[in-house]
Amino acid sequence: MDWKVLLDIVVSLLLIATIGYAVMLNSRLSALRKNRDDLAKTIVNFNEATVRAESSIPKLRKAAEDAGQGLQERVEKAQSLRDDLAFMIERADTMANRLENAVRSARSEVKPPPSATGQSAGQGIASAPTAPISRASGAKAAQQAAIAAAAAASENQDDDRSEAERELLRALQSMR
């Protein structure tokens, strides 16, 4: 055999290997192009999502600021109401204490003297049913006296009282 034939066979074998490798490379390049198209679509979708997210950020900030301002206004209003209620409770306690003191002083003025309650045994049995009645009427009179005293005191101090205190005094006076 001639060395030219042998060389032609080797070149043919190498060309066959090159053609096989080119076919395989072509299929891989096709897959890469297909994946590149998919990747490009994915990048385009990602860019669109990014643009939408960026455009919604100012809207979210505005909504958060509005909600924060509304909440702050409500908190301030609640604190104001809390302070007003605390003040009213304090004033109501003061008025209740004054009213209680007036009732006590009125009761002490209405109590019968100790010598009237210390009767003989025979008289005590006969007057037993009337004692609770006189105590009840005395308590009622003491209550009315206390209310009248509170009303008189309130008339002198109407300028210093709030509307709620005046309404409370009117309600107490209407109970008489």
> Residue 1: is its pLDDT beyond 80?
no
Mean pLDDT score across all residues of the chain = 78
> Residue 141: is its pLDDT beyond 90?
no
Q: Which of 105, 99, 85 is nearest to 173 (CA)?
A: 99
Note the residue count of the chain. 176
Q: Is 58 a member of any domain?
A: yes
Domain boundaries, position 166:
131-176
Please check whether residues 93 and 143 belong to one and the same domain.
no
Q: Is 7 a member of any domain?
A: no
pLDDT digits (tens, 9 = 90+) for 126-137: 433 434 444 445
Q: Is 14 a member of any domain?
A: no
> Residue 102: is its pLDDT beyond 50?
yes
Q: What's the rounded mean pLDDT across residues 84-105?
A: 88
Q: Is 2 a member of any domain?
A: no
Could you give the CA distance from residue 95 to residue 146 in angstroms, rounded to a whole number? 12
Contact 91, 165 (CB under 8 A): yes
Number of domains into which the chain is organized: 2
Q: Is 116 a member of any domain?
A: no
> Residue 69: is its pLDDT beyond 70?
yes
For residue 26, how many other CB atoms are within 10 A of its CB?
A: 10
Q: Which of 166, 125, 175, 167 is nearest to 146 (CA)?
A: 175
- Examine the fold and report which residue of 98, 116, 140 is the final residue of a domain before the chain moves on: 98
- Which residue intervals of the chain are DSSP H helices? 3-110, 114-117, 121-127, 130-156, 163-174
Task: Give the pLDDT confidence score for residue 25 in this predicted structure.
Answer: 96
Task: Give the pLDDT confidence score for residue 100 in this predicted structure.
Answer: 87
Q: Is 169 a member of any domain?
A: yes
Q: Is 115 a member of any domain?
A: no
- Examine the fold and report which residue of 98, 118, 139 is the final residue of a domain before the chain moves on: 98
Could you give the CA distance from residue 162 to residue 82 in angstroms, rounded to a whole number? 16
Secondary structure class of 120 (helix, strand, coil): coil
Q: Is 33 a member of any domain?
A: no
Q: Which of 169, 161, 174 is nearest to 90 (CA)?
A: 161
